Structure 1
Amino acid sequence: MTPSAPTERSREIAARVETFVRDVVFPYERDARCGPHGPSAELVGELRAKARDAGVLTPHILSDGSHLTQRETAVVLRRSGLSPLGPVAVNTMAPDEGNMFLLGRIGTPWQKDRFLAPLVRGEARSAFFMTEPAAEQGAGSDPSMLQTTAVREGSGWRISGRKMFITGAEGASVGIVMARTGGADEGKATMFLVDLPDPAVRLERVIDTIDSSMPGGHAQVLLDGLRLGDEHVLGEVDEGFRYAQVRLAPARLSHCMRWLGSATRAQEIATEYATTRKAFGKLLIDHEGVGFMMAENAIELQQCELMIEWCAGVLDAGSPGGTESSMAKVAVSEALYRIADRCVQVMGGSGVARDSVVEQVFRETRAFRIYDGPSEVHKWSLARKIKRDALAARA
């Protein structure tokens, strides 16, 4: 695939987003309201109000409700990711971005008005309730292990189970819950929309994790007999796993887009350090060990950009992109971690100090190697496809 130039509209939107992130968002990175479980609701509201005034809120969804193409989205989301707070400020953050995409694709008019519209306006946050505790043998990298159940009760549903590592559950207004609706051996699940807070959705704890960019952090949640009507079913009953794939492939790629922006920023900071700081009589970058790390970063940043564009093109062509998004997720997450690690190494003590955002970028990209599927699970899935294709070719 020949790389394509960004469209005029994506260039214009991306330029405005980048200006906003650099001029307005960067100064907030050391704000005391940025805690171990993400920026506070107050800070999120303040940043989004400024983004709204600047005309860059939810920039990937146009005024008529249409969505930028994936290639266009890549240009915009990379710029939003130049700061860990950037996607929060302009409303391109996970899980909201993926949830907006899914609701836009399969939501009913009523569901779009009630649940999607406040998300697009940046007035609400959302959470996607799928992962479950390992101790309870629940769904994690293997969604088929789903333990949460939704049982018909009268004219609606009763949902019970426990969820784990649910990003943004604390403070969310919109929830998408994945629950098993077939028998234990049927492998069927359904997605449900829920207004939050709800007394039957009990936040048990917010887990301390290595990353800290996502509002609300990552929570353990008990669904204690949650009752919902049929109008809250997202899509069709028993089709939840299929809809999860509709959401997950673009969402994996969106993570790549945003964190490519963060790694780009880390490289900028490390470059400034390496070209101004001297040791042993010369600039750090003139020492081969440092210079080669910076060169390797430049190479891998370009490779990540091309990998994202390739996968985005596949999605734009109408393919589900499961295989391609797995490839991109592995390649990009692993490369971005190496890039961030080198930036820390180049900067020495300054790289591990929280005086610089480089330290946070390192933590965030380390978590990315696990979020949306560990690299090893994606490789295993790809290996299975290689085997299937090889056996089919010989049949």
Structure 2
Amino acid sequence: MDYTVSPRIEDFRRRIAAFVDTHVLPLEADGANYDAHENIRVDLLDHVRAKARAEGLWCLQLKKETGGQDVGKVGMAVCYEAMNRSIFGPAVFNSAAPDDGNMMVLEAVGTDAQKERWLKPIVEGKVRSAFAMTEPHPGSGSDPSMTMTKAEKRGDHYVITGRKWFITGAEEAQHFVLMARTSSDPRKGLTAFMFDRDQPGWRIERRIEIMGPEEHGGHCELVFEGLEVPASEILLREGEGLKVTQIRLGPARLTHCMRWLGLSKRCVEIATDYAARREGFGQRLADRESVQLMLGDLAMKIEIGRLLVMKAAWALDQGSFARKEVSMAKVQVANVLHQAADTAIQLNGARGYSKDTILEWIYRYARQARLVDGADEVHKMVLNRFLEKEGGTFWSWQAGE
């Protein structure tokens, strides 16, 4: 592939970087700007979002007719990395999970009426959304075929019963994408539904406390006790829920990686700045060979992650599901984010372990990266299946015509 970034994408990257420097990074330094769950206060977020929208840096991932800038997956890789130089960045530009993935899947498969009803308010920043798939044992986790939540058809609507948990953003979401079982068919047994939080027949059982800082709306356990959804609010058609998950989750996994690379680079930035200033035993940290080895290794691994992400983004732009490419990127970048935070904390010493920097925030956040949207082990199993099927062609280049 051609690694040259178009002038248009470079302009977006430059403007995003300047916006983050001017309007977003300064907010991290004041504890009063955080909510009770260690994210940016919603009222403050709305204020900064208005500035981003006014500067044309809003929903870049979507098509122009939807309200975006149609930058493509390769453009997203460049821009999302720049956005997540700040821990608050993705939410500011309306590129944070789960809204990001929900907007893209609704844009891809929603009818005109569904886009007007469900997508437009998310694009406009008026509501937030959630994707309800994961269930407690023995229900679905990384394997959606294990879904136990049921949707029973009654006339022109469906009655849904079951339980979901670790649903990101549910406490503040207005619009939900829900995966439920409509038959026992292993390939055509799942269906994707849209519902509104104000509909009766469901409730939030609890907001699950987690190790790290949380997205707005937390991670919740939901109980469905007879939620009624009209047949008109099915995404695609009955039995095509697995297809909806494939369309949504592949790109969503990769957008996580794009954002995590920005955080990884921020960790290096904090570490190198401190190493250049901190002296001990007559020598700067930056002049110690051991420190140089740590930072050089980390820089290399971040670049490996960037190349894997860019290859996967390119494949998605070519129309591929890019399952192999996305899995490789997901494993590499999730692990390098953890290493970046750990290395930066080590080099900053007690300062890194304190809340004087955002490193401890990133460190706690980073541990979930190896679990969300498929654990490392699941993605490695996926890669092994490709290896068994493809053999030596696993590493082949795509030949041009």
Please give the range of the TM-score, normalised by the shorter of the 2 chains.
over 0.9
- C-alpha separation between the residues in 1 aligned to 2:392 and 2:24? 52
Change (3 A) 1:296 1:16: same
- CA shift digits 1:203-262 (9 cap, x unpaired): 111111123241111111112211011111011110101110111111111000011111
- The aligned counterpart of 1:324 is 325
**Residue number in structure 2 paired with 1:170:** 171
- Residue correspondence of structure 1 range 1-395 to structure 2 within 5 A: 1=1, 3-29=2-28, 30-32=30-32, 33-36=34-37, 38-61=39-62, 63-65=64-66, 67-134=70-137, 137-183=138-184, 188-390=189-391
CA contact (8 A) 1:174 1:196 kept: yes
More deviation, 121-130/204-213: 204-213
Q: Distance in 2 between matches of 1:101 and 1:233?
A: 16
- For the residue of structure 2 that corresponds to 1:76, the secondary structure is helix
Which structure has more relative contact order (CA 8 Å, sep 6+)? It is: 1
Query: Secondary structure, in 3 states, of the residue corresponding to 2:184?
Result: coil
Residues 67 and 392 of structure 1, relative CA distance in 2, 3 Å threshold = closer
Q: Distance in 1 between matches of 2:58 and 2:186?
A: 44
Deviates more, 1:17-26 or 1:122-131: 17-26
Structure 2: 5+ residue runs without aligned partners?
395-401
The 3-state SS of whatever aligns with 1:61 is: coil
1:62, distance to aligned residue in structure 2 (A)? 5.0
The more displaced of 151-160 and 63-72 is 63-72
Give the number of aligned pairs.
Answer: 390
CA distance 1:363–1:164, shift in 2 (3 Å): same
Q: CA deviation at 1:390?
A: 4.2
Shift of 1:186: 6.8
- What is the root-mean-square deviation in Å for CA atoms of aligned residues? 2.0
Q: In 2, Cα distance between the equivalents of 1:243 and 1:63?
A: 22
Q: Following the alignment from structure 2 to structure 1, what is the Cα–Cα distance between the partners of residues 168 and 332?
A: 23
Contact 1:149 1:159 in 2 (8 A): yes
In structure 1, the residue corresponding to 2:65 is in which secondary structure? coil
Contact 1:39 1:213 in 2 (8 A): no
> How far is the alpha carbon of 1:160 from its aligned partner?
1.0
Alpha-carbon deviations, 1:156-208, whole Å to 9, x = none? 01111111100000111110000001137676100001122333231111111
Partner SS state of residue 345, structure 2? helix
Identity of aligned residues (%): 38
Given residue 253 of structure 2, which amino acid in structure 1 is its aligned partner?
Answer: R
Higher mean displacement: 379-388 or 101-110: 379-388
Greater mean alpha carbon deviation, residues 41-50 or residues 109-118: 41-50
User: Helix, strand or coil for the counterpart of 1:356?
Assistant: coil
How far apart, CA to CA, are the structure 2 residues paired with 1:53 and 1:69? 21
Q: CA deviation at 1:341?
A: 1.3
How far the C-alpha of 1:77 sits from its partner, in A, is 0.7
Q: How far does residue 154 in structure 1 lie from its aligned partner after superposition?
A: 2.2
TM-score, length-scaled by structure 2? 0.92
Deviates more, 1:26-35 or 1:74-83: 26-35
Shift of 1:69: 1.2
d(CA) in 2 for partners of 1:92, 1:84: 12
Is the contact between residue 167 and residue 216 of structure 1 (CA under 8 Å) also seen in structure 2? Answer: yes
Does the CA contact (< 8 Å) of 1:129 and 1:176 recur in 2?
A: yes
